[in-house]
Structure 1
């Protein structure tokens, strides 16, 4: 269970996020609807994770990332939530040490999986955004060469080797197809590959 602070300027969205995360076993310690409220709220509520909307009045998500403690000294993790993001914004968020990035049109389970991954110490980026900003295969391999696959990721690799597609893998593991895509992206990063063919070849070596 994580202690979570949610910052989103839309009350309906904020309450929906709170209900989703509470239902997943997490504890909502504070809610903010204005960006300028966030620094004081983090100090007062001591969250494990800040779920931060990119576009907020007062200060937006990137402005807050710039002035919150640096990633190495930050006492909480940050997941950025947004309906849209430019390549430049996403690259800056990664450079500023964001731990997760989820698009608002993702399935609810994707956000839950992201929070679980981030709290386990992994970075979780929306696969479409990550594909645009993370660069070449070599750069991905350098970032992730020391990472190990989780048990769920190993299950997915095994099913990929058997020739299953994302929908079939999702049905077998009780995951949404979107969640399988996110898992596969993280696996590609960890193993330094760029496609299912490369993944199958690498795991057979």
Structure 2
């Protein structure tokens, strides 16, 4: 099994690498990288990991959900992504981050500050092919969304503005220098995040939020 760990802290990379190699029930090869650019270059090459453990906060340009969005733009082979983040589940933005990660097809979200035994048990279950979500994540998903708050990532706002201008996904993709499939994925994640189901409703949300187009 091929595993990629992407984290800007070498100590975390080395510790996770040793743990996975020593405890996995199947032979594993763990590769560690420290930047998003290194990670996207790797998955666009012949390298094809079975799992990617991705930290959300890598540097000043790659923070929070935007890191996962940019990674998934390059993840053409749909390698399974496990978000491995230092954000606290008590953070006010944690619920939105979790929902956005799952909307962007992350398999699960693991908090670095979680109980270490539970975290390692979870990793073992993920590597065994099970669908596993930590109890902290389940608790956050059960929290009601605040319909008065429009909290989208910068990339999601870019797409939402395009929709509000009446642009099709292909046109938005051309403006943002990405693929139509990625725009479609982001639109779907916005629908889930805002609990809406149409482009008309999304355009109305943008206008009510008084976003300058």
Scaled by the length of structure 1, the TM-score of the pair is: 0.55
Map residues 168-183 of structure 1 onto 2, 5 A cutoff. Answer: none
User: Does structure 1 retain, via aligned residues, the 8 Å contact 2:56–2:67?
Assistant: no
CA positional deviation for 1:128: 1.7
User: Does structure 2 retain, via aligned residues, the 8 Å contact 1:101–1:124?
Assistant: no
Which residue is 2:22 aligned to?
23
Q: C-alpha offsets along residues 20-64 of structure 1, whole Å, 9 cap, x if unaligned?
A: 111113523421111222111223431100001121114246224
Which residue is 1:164 aligned to?
none
| Greater helix content | 1
User: Does structure 1 retain, via aligned residues, the 8 Å contact 2:20–2:30?
Assistant: no
Which residue is 1:42 aligned to?
43
Partner-residue secondary structure (3-state), 1:5: strand
Q: Where does structure 2 lack aligned partners over 5 or more consecutive residues? A: 89-93, 145-213
CA distance in 1, matches of 2:76, 2:129: 15
Q: Where does structure 1 lack aligned partners over 5 or more consecutive residues? A: 137-205
Instruction: Indicate which of 51, 62, 65 corresponds to 2:65.
Output: 62
CA distance in 2, matches of 1:74, 1:60: 23
Map residues 1-205 of structure 1 onto 2, 5 A cutoff. Answer: 2-25=1-24, 26-44=27-45, 45-57=47-59, 58-60=61-63, 62-69=65-72, 74-85=77-88, 86-134=94-142
CA distance in 2, matches of 1:66, 1:91: 13
The count of residues paired between Structure 1 and Structure 2 equals 134
Partner-residue secondary structure (3-state), 1:125: coil
User: Does structure 2 retain, via aligned residues, the 8 Å contact 1:79–1:102?
Assistant: yes
CA positional deviation for 1:121: 4.4
Partner-residue secondary structure (3-state), 1:4: strand
User: Does structure 2 retain, via aligned residues, the 8 Å contact 1:81–1:101?
Assistant: yes
Scaled by the length of structure 2, the TM-score of the pair is: 0.54
Change (3 A) 1:83 1:64: closer
Q: C-alpha offsets along residues 73-98 of structure 1, whole Å, 9 cap, x if unaligned?
A: 64321111112152111110111111
